[in-house]
Structure 1
Amino acid sequence: MITGMGSFLLWSCGSPEVGPDGKPIVDEFSEMPVIQQYLLRTWKGMNDMNRMIQEPSRDKLLPDPVKPPYIQPPYTLVLELRDVLVHPEWTYETGWRFKKRPGVDFLLHHCGPPLFEVVIYTNEQGFTAFPIIDHLDPNGLIWYRLYKDTTRYVNGKHVKDLSCLNRDLEKVICIDWDADAVSSPRNHLKLKRWDGNMNDQSLVELGLMLRTIAESEVSDVREVIDYYRTFDDPLAAFRENQRLAQEQELAVKQRVEEEHQQKKFTSSIISSFFRRS
C-alpha cells in the first residue's frame, strides 16, 4: 500500500504540466532522466505546498492607501474575530453557532471611518468567517477581511504578520486575546478572551479608549500600547486614568470658579468703598 501511494504521489506530482495542445510543457527538469524528473518535480511541489502553508498568500495584504480627494483614515484597527467579536457555542437545540459580543456595534460605529480603517484579521478560514462578518457589519464599516491563508505559520501557530499589511506600524493597533498571535508585540493591545458572557461591556470601553487615542492625534500608537501593556487589564487601567483625569478637570474648574468668586467679592468691596468715599 505504501509503495502504491508513493508511486501515485510521484506520478501525480512529478508529471510535467500539459499545455492546451495536450503536449508536455518544457521546464527546468525536462532534460534530466525520467526518474530524476519525477523525483525533483515532486520535491519542488512539496516545497511549494509547505511554503504556501507557512507564508502569507501575498506580500501586500492591503491595497495602497488612497490619495486625496478620497479619505484615508489616519489609523488602522486590526481585529481578531473569534473570542474578540464573536464566541462559538454549541447547544442541543441549535448546534454550533457564533454569539455576537455586546458592544460590537458601538465599537464599529465609534472606531470606524474616518478615524480608523477597520480590518478583520483572523485565524479562521474564509468560508467560516465571511458570513459571520457579513452579519456583524451590514453597514460596511469593516473595510478589509484577512483569513488564515494570510497568516504566517511559525512554530506550529498561525501568526498575524503586521509587516505585510502595507501600512505604517506607527498607526496600527491590533486587538487580540492571544499573546503569541501577532508578529509585532508593540502594536498588540491584548484583551481578555471573551467566554460568551452577555453582560460583558469590554468592547464599549475599548471603543472609548481607541476613539480617545485617535482624537488625540497620537503620532505613534506603539508608545501608548507600550504603557498599557504593563497592566493585566488595559481597559481597567484606561478607565482609572479617565476617572483621575475627570477628577482633575473638576478640581481645576472648581478652583477657577472659586478664584472668580473671590475676584467678584473683592471687586464688590472696592466698589462699595469708593461709593462711600
Structure 2
Amino acid sequence: MFCYIIVDFLYLSSFDRRLCHVSVPVNAIDFYLDIRRQIEEQIQGFAEPISDKLLPDLHPLEQHVFTLVLDLNETLVYSDWKRDRGWRTFKRPGVDAFLEHLAKFYEIVIYSDQLSMYVDPVIERLDSEQRIRYRLSRGATKYQDGKHYRDLSKLNRNPGKVIYISGHALESCLQPENCLQIHPWKLEADDTALLDLIPFLEFVATRQPTDIRSVLASYEGKDIPPEFIKRSLEHQRRVQEQRQGRSLWRR
C-alpha cells in the first residue's frame, strides 16, 4: 500500500497535496521523504568524484614538481573489438619512451573515465616499471550532462602546475585552461605525437613557469610541438645576435 500512496503523492499538484494531506498517514510521508533523501544522496555520490582530494599531499620536497595527468583511451592506448578475437588493447607508438623519460621530471597520473576493472589491468601491463604514480578511474570523475568529466580541481594539486593531456582534452575536462590536446590515436603505425611532445614538456619541467595555464594559453590554436621548435629557434637566433652585438662593441 505504501508504494501506491507514494506514487500518487509524487504526481499530485501542490494544491492537491494540501487537500489530501490530512488523509495521507504521517508515517507514509516520512517514508517518502526518507526514500527521496536516500535517492538524492546516491545520485550525488554518483555524480561527484569520490573525494575532494583525489591524490595524497605532495611531499614537502616535491612542491615544485609539476603533475602530468594523462587520459588513457586514444591517448596512450587504443582498444577495439573484433568478432574473431574479442577485445584487444594496443599501445600507442612511443608510449614507453614517453613515460620513461617524463617520469624523471613529473608526477604522472592516469585519469580515465573507464571503470577501474578496465583501467587497472591495462596500466599494470602498460607500466611494468611503475612510472605512473597514481591511477584514477570513473569513480573519480564528475558526471554532468550525461558525460564523465575529469575535475582537476579535486586533485589536491596547485592548478598552476597541472597539465592534462588527452586525445579529447577539451571534451573531457572541466578545466580547459590546463588542457593540452593531442591527436586521438586510432592505430596509426606512423604516429609520433607522444614523442613530439617530450621537448616541450621537458622544457616546462626544467624552467618551472609560475603558472602553466598562461603558457598553454600562449599556444592556443597552435600545434605545440612545431610551434615550440619555432619559438626555440627564434630565441636562439636572438641570443646569438645579442652575443655578436656585444662582441662588436668590445672591439
Q: Which TM-score bucket, shorter chain as reference?
A: 0.7 to 0.9
Q: TM-score, normalized by length of structure 1?
A: 0.74
State the 1:217 CA deviation: 1.9
In structure 1, the residue matched to 2:33 is 40
Equivalent of 1:53 in 46, 62, 80? 46
**Which residue is 1:229 aligned to?**
220
Distance in 1 between residues matched to 2:64 and 2:173, nearest whole Å: 22
Q: Which moved more, 1:137-146 or 1:34-43?
A: 34-43
Tell me which of 237, 240, 243 is aligned to 1:252.
240
Cα separation, 2, equivalents of 1:209 and 1:226: 14
Of 173, 176, 180, 2:166 maps to: 176
Distance 1:119 1:228 in 2: 23
Distance 2:204 2:219 in 1: 12
Say which structure is richer in helix: 2
Can you list the C-alpha shifts for 1:195-243, whole angstroms capped at 9, x where unaligned?
Answer: 1112101100112220111112222111111012221x22332243345
Show structure 2 runs of 5+ residues with no match.
8-24
C-alpha distance in structure 1 between counterparts of 2:172 and 2:148, whole Å = 7
AA aligned opposite 1:170: G
Matches of 1:194 and 1:239, distance apart in 2: 23
Percent same amino acid at aligned positions? 32
**Residue 99 in 1 paired to residue 87 in 2?**
no
Distance between the aligned counterparts of 1:193 and 1:238, measured in 2?
20
The residue correspondences of 1:185-196 to structure 2 (distance < 5 A) are 185-196=176-187
Q: Does the residue aligned with 1:119 lie in a helix, a strand or coil?
A: strand
How far did 1:80 drift? 0.4
**How many Å apart are 1:177 and its aligned residue?**
2.3
Give a deviation string over 1:158-213, Cα, whole Å, max 9, x none.
Answer: 11111111100111111122212111111111112111112101100112220111
Q: Cα gap change, 1:73/1:137 in structure 2, threshold over 3 Å: closer, same or farther?
A: farther
- Mapped pair 1:201 → 2:192: yes
Does structure 1 retain, via aligned residues, the 8 Å contact 2:197–2:224?
no
Shift of 1:245: 4.9
Q: How many pairs were matched up? A: 227
Which segments of 5 or more consecutive residues in structure 1 lack a partner in the other structure? 11-31, 264-277
CA distance in 1, matches of 2:94, 2:207: 22
Which one has the largest radius of gyration?
1
Tell me, yes or no, if the aligned pair for 1:106 and 1:207 is still in contact at 8 Å.
no
Larger deviation, residues 88-97 vs 77-86: 88-97
Amino acid at match of 1:223: S
Report the Cα offset of residue 73 of structure 1.
5.9
> Structure 1 pair 243/201, CA: closer, same or farther in 2 (3 Å)?
farther
Q: Which residue of 2 aligns with 1:76?
A: 67
2:153 to 155, 158, 163: 163
Paired residue type of 1:136: L
- The equivalent of 2:109 in structure 1 is 119
Opposite residue 101 of structure 1, the aligned amino acid is R
TM-score in terms of structure 2 length: 0.81
1:110 to 101, 115, 132: 101
Q: Compared with structure 1, are the counterparts of its residues 139 and 72 closer, same or farther at alpha carbon in structure 2 (3 Å cutoff)?
A: farther
Q: Secondary structure at the match of 2:133?
A: strand
